[in-house]
Structure 1
Amino acid sequence: MTIDTVARDYDEQRNAPLGGYAALAAAFVATAGAFTAAARRRGTVLPDRVPPWDVLLLGAASYKTARLFTKDKITGFVRAPFTRRKEDTTAGEVMDEPRGSGLRLAVGDLLSCPFCFSAWSTGALVGWYAVSPRSARLAGAGFAAMTLADWLQYAWTWTQQAAED
């Protein structure tokens, strides 16, 4: 059974770049494995537990980094080879759509979906946390503060609109 047969059986429109998805998954696993091997060689000791506060901090930071990479206007240069701008949305964000085929389309899917990209941003942040918890917390706090600032901007806008109505 070939990847084309599997893709056709999986998606009748043949739009799902399963080979590209497999390559991205393999790259993710290989990167995680290489990082783990390097951390072991370096003698990195993993924490016995991760405090709930750090989980919340890393979660907020992962949310924000995923949105920055997949939705922010300014990071469009990263997505441009793999996506096409569909429309501008609110709060300086954009809606991009993947383009191309195969691996290019798979990367476009990844770079236009904050839910998809969050696995990658979480992996990077957790790896950073394992190697250098203090600096990861500091960066996480910065991204979490950006998340809070976003919500405060929305709250201000909603309050202003309600006062005008």
Structure 2
Amino acid sequence: MTTTDTAAPLRRFARHVKRAYSDGHDRPLLGYSAVLAAYTGLVGLAAVIGRARGARLPERFSAQDTILLCAATHKASRLLSKEAVTSPLRAPFTRYEKATGEAEINEAARGNGAQHAVGELLTCPFCLGVWVATGLTAGLVFAPRATRLVTTVLTAVAASDTLQLTYDRAKQRLA
């Protein structure tokens, strides 16, 4: 039996699953699978490196670290997925649609397969939040001081954004 012969049932099964799942809509399931595999591979690589370096997981994270991690994940996810200044990072996978507010833009995923799946990931702050939180959490294990610096900066920027928007709203109400 050749490799092609053994792969044929798998391809038929994948087409069946895609048809059953997507109900005629073009969904890049193979691309999503590639993105999931990349995430799993990176987490696995971090675990292998951590084990080789003798890194120990903390018993627990402090409330301060958790709060910083939450705010930093929110800010980094929006910065990476919505800010105009980071659009060059998304451009190979997205298409500009319009400005949507304070320094943010809407983009749509383009292409198909993995390109489309990555485009969806990069334009979704909720989706990207998983990757950012995982990276920052790994940072707290491998390099806690540097990661606390980064999370503090991102938290300060998020707080600054909130104050800027609050100031603008107050100015509009007084005008």
Fold match by TM threshold 0.5: yes
Task: Structure 1: give runs of 5+ residues left out of the alignment.
Answer: none
**Identity %, equivalent residues:** 35
- Letter in structure 1 aligned against 2:101: T
Residue pair 1:82, 1:99 contacting (<8 A) in 2 also:
yes
Kindly indicate whether residue 150 of structure 2 is the aligned counterpart of residue 139 of structure 1.
Answer: yes
TM-score (norm 1): 0.96
1:81-100 deviations in Å (ceiling 9; x for gaps): 11001101111110000011
Residues of 2 paired with 1:107 and 1:123: CA distance? 17
Q: Which residue matches 1:69?
A: 80
Kindly indicate whether residue 64 of structure 2 is the aligned counterpart of residue 53 of structure 1.
Answer: yes
Kindly indicate whether residue 138 of structure 2 is the aligned counterpart of residue 124 of structure 1.
Answer: no
Residues of 2 paired with 1:16 and 1:155: CA distance? 40
Q: Which residue matches 1:93?
A: 104
Q: Which residue matches 1:3?
A: 14
- Letter in structure 2 aligned against 1:150: D
Shift of 1:10: 1.3
Residues of 1 paired with 2:39 and 2:126: CA distance? 15
Q: Between Structure 1 and Structure 2, how many residues are aligned?
A: 164
Q: Indicate the larger mover: 142-151 or 15-24.
A: 15-24
Task: Structure 2: give runs of 5+ residues left out of the alignment.
Answer: 1-11
Alignment of 1:144-163 (within 5 A): 144-163=155-174
Residue pair 1:71, 1:95 contacting (<8 A) in 2 also:
yes
After TM superposition, the runs of 4+ consecutive aligned structure 1 residues lying more than 4 A away are none
Q: Which residue matches 2:7?
A: none
Residues of 1 paired with 2:164 and 2:81: CA distance? 20
Q: Which residue matches 1:81?
A: 92
Residue pair 1:64, 1:143 contacting (<8 A) in 2 also:
yes
Bigger radius of gyration: 2
Residues of 1 paired with 2:19 and 2:172: CA distance? 49
- Letter in structure 1 aligned against 2:62: P
- Letter in structure 1 aligned against 2:75: K
The DSSP-based 3-state class of the residue aligned with 2:108 is strand
- Letter in structure 2 aligned against 1:120: W
TM-score (norm 2): 0.90
1:106-146 deviations in Å (ceiling 9; x for gaps): 00100110000000111110111111111111110000000
